[in-house]
Structure 1
Amino acid sequence: MALVTVTSLTKINLAPKSVKDEIIQNVQCILGTVKGSVPLNRDFGTAIEAVDLPQPMAMMQLRIDIIEAIQKYEPRAIIRAIEFENETTAAADGILKPKITLEINEDA
């Protein structure tokens, strides 16, 4: 199992040491890309529409967007859980930071 967050992608490694590192980096890239911002692939990334929703609805919409994007663009990553950092304090500061627990399927 691997834990992935959006903020953990600092730089892109063009030659990852393992398949696991490659998959985690790909998931981080998907999470850190706003859907519509990639010129030749407008569907890549996660949607930003949840930004104006009430917190419970935003969390559910983000979960849906994350699941769909990862299933489409990195099928070797199997999502086991999606939680949010500081879920109890997120309402106060309005920031939702997803934490995704993945299982890596290197054979896919």
Structure 2
Amino acid sequence: MELTVDMSVPGVVEIGATGLRGLAQEIRTALATRKGSVPLDRDFGLSWDVIDLPLPEARPLLVAEIGCGLERCVPRIRVKDVSFKADVPEAADGKLVPVVTVEIRKEYLNDFR
């Protein structure tokens, strides 16, 4: 089972979200959190070391960080694809807006049926 999370689409925080909605919210939270900013879990989130790099340098580093970091933060998934939205106004400003496709690990599939 696959799930695609597009960070250019505003997400709504749902208290008590379950199933795929809860998983999507968990992924969005991990993508939007700077590593080191969560007091009791300093390893949660993604490194923002690439924030000031030129886009051609930042893109492959960010793909690697999302691939490894997201699986660390959300262990129920495996990252299948990371792409970036090119048709959003932020892209012209030098912002990379990720679209992440994940697969639910087979040992967790029963949680989503």
Return the TM-score normalized by structure 2: 0.79
Cα displacement (A) at 1:106: 5.6
Residue of structure 1 equivalent to 2:11: 9
* Structure 1 unaligned regions, length at least 5: none
Determine if contact 1:35/1:42 at 8 Å carries over to the other structure.
yes
Q: CA deviation at 1:34?
A: 1.0
**Structure 1: 4+ residue segments shifted above 4 A:** none
Gaps of 5+ in 2: 109-113
SS at match of 1:63: helix
Q: After the TM superposition, which residues 1-108 of structure 1 pair with which residues of structure 2 at under 5 Å, given as runs?
A: 1-6=2-7, 7-16=9-18, 18=19, 20-86=20-86, 90=91, 92-105=92-105, 107-108=107-108
Structure 2 CA distance for partners of 1:12 and 1:33, relative to 1, 3 Å: farther
**Residues in 1 aligned to 2:94 and 2:76: alpha-carbon distance in whole angstroms:** 32
Q: Check conservation: 1:4, 1:100, Cα contact below 8 A.
A: yes
The CA RMSD over aligned residues, in Å, is 2.2
**Distance apart, 1:3 and its partner CA:** 1.1
**Same amino acid, percent of matched pairs:** 33
- Alpha carbons 1:23, 1:104 under 8 Å: kept: no
Normalised TM-score (structure 1): 0.82
